[in-house]
Amino acid sequence: MVEVPALGPVLVVDDDTVSRHVLGHALAGGGLTYITAQSGAEALAAIEKHRPSIVLLDLVMPPPDGYQVLRILRARSDTRDLPVVVLTALDAEDEIAKAFEAGADDFVKKPFRPAELVARVRGQLRLRSVMEDLEGKEKDAQLILELTQALASNLDFRGILFTVVQRLAEVAKVDRVSIVLVRDDGKVGYVVAASDDEQLRDLPIDLAKYPEILDVLQRGEPLVIADTSKHPLLDLVKGGAAPHFSSLSILPILYEQKPMGVLFLRSRKGSVFGAREIDLCKTVSSAMAIALRNARVIQSLRDQTQEVTVARFEAERRNRALQRYADFFESSADGIVVMDSDGYLLFSNPRARVITGYDEHDLEGRQLGELFADEGLLASKLRAGFHRGEFPQGVDIRIKQRMGSVVVVSVNFNSVLREDGAVLCTLRDVTRERAVDAELVKTKDFLERVIDSSVDAIISADMDGKIVLFNRAAERIYGTSADAVLGTHVSALYPEGGAKKIMRLIRQGKGRVEGIRAEILDHAGTLIPVTFSGGLIYDREVAIGSVGIFTDLREKMRMEQRLQAAQDRLIQQERQAVIAELAGGAAHELNQPLTSVMSYAAMLRRLLEKGTSAYNAAEVIEGEAERMAEIVRKIGKITRYETKSYVGQQKILDLDKASEGPASEVKRSTIPAEAPRSSAPPSSRSSGPPLREGNR
Are residues 612 and 524 part of one domain? no
pLDDT at position 488 is 92
Helices vs. strands in the chain: H and E counts, helices first = 20, 21
pLDDT at position 319 is 62
pLDDT at position 364 is 81
Q: Per-residue pLDDT averaged across 340-359, rounded?
A: 84
Reported as a single tens digit per residue, the pLDDT across 568-587 is: 888 888 887 777 777 777 77
How buried is 435 (Cβ within 10 angstroms: 0-12 exposed, 13-18 middle, 19+ buried)? exposed
Does residue 545 or residue 3 have the better pLDDT? 545
Q: How confident is the model at residue 157 (pLDDT cuts 50, 70, 90)?
A: low
pLDDT at position 461 is 92
508 within some domain: yes
pLDDT at position 22 is 85
Averaged pLDDT of the chain: 77
CB 75 within 8 A of CB 47: no
309 within some domain: no
Are residues 281 and 190 part of one domain? yes
Does residue 86 or residue 669 have the better pLDDT? 86
39 within some domain: yes
Are residues 576 and 543 part of one domain? no
CA distances from 92 to 71, 89, 99 (A): 20, 9, 11
Q: Which of 503, 521, 552 is the last residue of a domain?
A: 552
CB 81 within 8 A of CB 130: no
Are residues 170 and 119 part of one domain? no
Are residues 681 and 584 part of one domain? yes
pLDDT at position 32 is 86
Reported as a single tens digit per residue, the pLDDT across 70-125 is: 888 888 888 888 888 888 776 667 777 887 888 888 888 777 788 888 888 888 88
Q: Per-residue pLDDT averaged across 344-349, rounded?
A: 83
Strands 84-88 and 54-58: parallel
Does residue 290 or residue 49 have the better pLDDT? 49
pLDDT at position 30 is 82
Are residues 223 and 288 part of one domain? yes
pLDDT at 291 over 90: no
How large a percentage of the chain has pLDDT more than 70? 75
Are residues 263 and 278 part of one domain? yes
Is the pTM for the entire model greater than 0.85?
no
Are residues 165 and 226 part of one domain? yes
401 within some domain: yes
Residue 291 belongs to domain with CATH number: 3.30.450.40
Q: Could you give the angle at the alpha carbon of 320 between the alpha carbons of 314 and 321, nearest 5°?
A: 85
Name 22's Cβ contacts closer than 8 Å, sequence gap at least 6.
Answer: none
Residue 71 belongs to domain with CATH number: 3.40.50.2300
Residue 413 belongs to domain with CATH number: 3.30.450.20
- The maximal CA–CA distance of the chain, rounded, in angstroms, is 193
Edge-first strand order for the sheet with 395-400 is 345-348, 335-340, 422-429, 406-414, 395-400
Range of the domain at 199: 154-299
Are residues 419 and 461 part of one domain? no
Name 639's Cβ contacts closer than 8 Å, sequence gap at least 6.
Answer: 580, 581, 583, 584, 587
Are residues 125 and 46 part of one domain? yes
682 within some domain: yes
Q: Which of 277, 299, 321 is the last residue of a domain?
A: 299
How large a percentage of the chain has pLDDT more than 90? 5
1 within some domain: no
How many distinct structural domains can be found in the chain?
Answer: 5
Q: Which of 110, 136, 162 is the last residue of a domain?
A: 136
Are residues 192 and 124 part of one domain? no
Which runs of E-coded beta strand occur in 29-171? Answer: 34-37, 54-58, 84-88, 106-109
pLDDT at position 179 is 84
Strands 467-470 and 512-521: unpaired
pLDDT at position 470 is 92
169 within some domain: yes
Question: Please, which residues bridge with residue 335 across strands?
Answer: 427
Q: Per-residue pLDDT averaged across 668-682, rounded?
A: 39
Reported as a single tens digit per residue, the pLDDT across 234-257 is: 654 444 444 467 888 888 887 777
681 within some domain: yes
Are residues 565 and 539 part of one domain? no
